[in-house]
Amino acid sequence: MKKIFVLLIGLLSVAVVQAQTVLACQFTESGGYIYRNGRWQLTSFTLDKPFFIRLQADGVIDPSSLAGAGMTYNIECSRPYSHRPEFVRCAGNSDMMIFSTRTLAGSTSTIHGAASEGGNRDTLSINPFTCQRM
C-alpha cells in the first residue's frame, strides 16, 4: 500500500510539472526617467538578459519565476480582467507586469520612485518584452 501511495504522489508531481508551460523571454526596449539635479531626465537603459516565465495550467504566471525579469518583492499574479482573459497581471511592492498569453508579449514597469522625496528618487522604467514557448 505504501509503494502505491508513493507512486501516486510521484505521478501527480509529474502531472503538475507538465501542466506548466515554460517561456523564454527577452526585453526588446528599456526606457524611463532618472532623477538628476532636481529634475526627471528621459533616458534609455541597457537591456537586461533573457529570462524565463512559467505559466501554470490555468494560464497564470508562477510568481516564483519572475526573478529573472527583475521582480522579486511579494509578487502576486492573477487574471483580473474578465473582458481580456488572456491578460495576466503580476504586481508586487514596487513592480508590475502585464502579459498576454495570446501574443506572448508584455511589459514590466517600476514607477514607485516618483512618490519618493528629495533627491534620492528611484528610477522609473518601462520594459516591453516578447516570449516564445520552449
Q: Which domains are present in the chain? A: 18-113+123-133 (2.40.128)
Paired with 34 in beta bridges are: 41
> For the segment 45-100, what is each residue's pLDDT rounded down to a tens digit?
999 899 999 999 999 999 999 999 988 889 999 999 999 999 999 999 889 999 99
pLDDT reported for residue 19: 79
pLDDT at 10 over 80: no
pLDDT reported for residue 2: 54
Higher pLDDT, 78 or 2: 78
- Grid coordinates representing 126 are 518601462
DSSP assignment string, 40-100: EEEEE-PPPPPEEEEE-TTS-B-GGG-GGGT--SS-EEE---TT-TTEEEEE-SS-EEEEE
> For the segment 26-58, what is each residue's pLDDT rounded down to a tens digit?
999 999 999 999 999 999 999 989 999 999 999
